[in-house]
Amino acid sequence: MSQNQSLHGVFAAVVTPLHQDYSCASEEMPALLHFLAQRGCHGALLLGTTGEGPSFAPQERLALLKAALVIRQEHPQFRLLAGTGTPSLEETVLLNRGAFDLGYDGVVVLPPYYFRNAPEDGLFEWFKQVLERSVPSGCALLAYHIPPVSGVPISIELLARLKDAFPTKFAGLKDSSGDAQHAIRLGETFGSDLVVLNGNDRLFSLALQAKGSGGITALANLISPLLRQVWELHMSGEDTTELQSQIDAARKVMESFPPPPTFVKSILSRRYNFPAWTVRPPLLPMPHDQVERANATWVEIYHG
């Protein structure tokens, strides 16, 4: 299996277990990853948006990444991606090196999101430095395109420049723009030459049809069996419309109880007996009455 092929499929944008004092419950991450592997995930992204990545110090991130490696004792093919992007070039380089030293399959790197008016040439130089200094030969970097959150879009032109300059290291992107036309244009521009993992469950089937490589989504924490069924149907050339409508309904519920980390953690606790993990400020845990309403609404639409 090539490096790029290993980055295809259903990935969970996994939540980060936290004790009530906001410290990382790193020891509880392997059980969550085992749960996801058993339910059809090909892999997981740690410390992305759903994992509250920017809320953690470098040493916390590296400790969590190390703790997650236990999953490979029972599931050696389970793919691990690390969310590592920060506005700091040096910190991003440090985190990437740490992730690859641990044996991670790839890193998912936000652009330097504090600098919202940086020119494209500046963004290219930033990624160039990251790729040259922290991505070993045979390893993969995915850019993280989430302009509604980061405020810094990664243009198709920039993607092409990076792919041309680093054809083996720059693997592609996680596209969390939520833009259907953008997903289609990515497929039209790059075909299968670029790994494109869509970050919006509503666009999962469309992105696959547009030559996407799969998805990394918050809802994969909860509905990975359904997402895996869509993946398998797509791979066999069958229609995914009915299953995609179920995914859309689940996404609608999650969006009714924002933000995703609090919703996912609440449902994991209520439905699957995980601890009642908190979230780190500035996020706040879901009030009890809202947890009850979220759970009741969830049960109405999903029974997996």
Tokens of 3: 């490096």
For the annotated catalytic residues, the residue numbers are 49, 114, 144, 174
Give the C-alpha separation, 25 to 42, whole Å. 23
Q: Give residue 1's pLDDT band: very low, low, confident or very high (50, 70, 90).
A: very low
Q: Which of 10, 8, 18 is nearest to 268 (CA)?
A: 18
Q: 53 phi and psi, to 5 degrees? A: -50, -50
pLDDT at 148: 94
**Above 80 in pLDDT, residue 252?**
yes
Q: What are the φ and ψ backbone dihedral angles of 214, each rounded to 5 degrees?
A: 145, -150
Residue 110 region, left (φ>0) first, then alpha (ψ -120 to 50), else beta? beta
Whether pLDDT at 303 is above 90: no
3-state secondary structure of 36: helix
Q: What share of the chain is helix, strand, coil (3-state, %, to 5)?
A: 50, 15, 35
CB 123 within 8 A of CB 158: yes
| Sequence-ordered strand ranges (E) for the chain | 9-13, 43-46, 79-83, 106-109, 141-145, 170-175, 195-198, 214-217
Widest pairwise Cα distance in the chain: 52
**Stretch 256-274: mean pLDDT:** 97
The number of beta carbons lying within 10 Å of the beta carbon of residue 151 is: 13
Instruction: Report the pLDDT averaged over residues 85-112.
Output: 97
We find that the CATH architecture of domain 3-236 is: Alpha-Beta Barrel (3.20)
pLDDT tens track for 39-78: 999 999 999 999 999 999 999 999 999 999 999 999 999 9
Alpha-carbon gap, residue 187 to 195, rounded angstroms: 10
Q: Cα(11)–Cα(105) distance, rounded to whole angstroms?
A: 12
**Looking at the predicted structure, is the pLDDT value of residue 174 above 70?**
yes
**Confidence label for 304 from pLDDT (cuts 50, 70 and 90):** confident
**Domain segments of the chain as ranges:** 3-236
Phi, psi of 268 (to 5 degrees): -60, -40
Among residues 181, 209, 176, 174, the alpha carbon closest in space to that of 195 is found at: 174
pLDDT(82) > 80: yes
What token pair was written down for 6? 């290993």
The whole-angstrom separation of Cα 289 and Cα 294 is: 9
Query: Closest Cα to residue 102, out of 145, 158, 150, 46?
Result: 46
| Phi, psi dihedral angles at 192 (to 5 degrees) | -100, 10
pLDDT tier for residue 3 given thresholds of 50, 70 and 90: low
DSSP-derived 3-state class of residue 217: strand
- The CA dihedral of 116, 210, 171, 106, to the nearest 10 degrees, is 90
For the chain, give the mean pLDDT: 96
Q: Are 177 and 171 in contact (CB under 8 A)?
A: no
Helix (H, G, I), strand (E, B) or coil at 34: helix
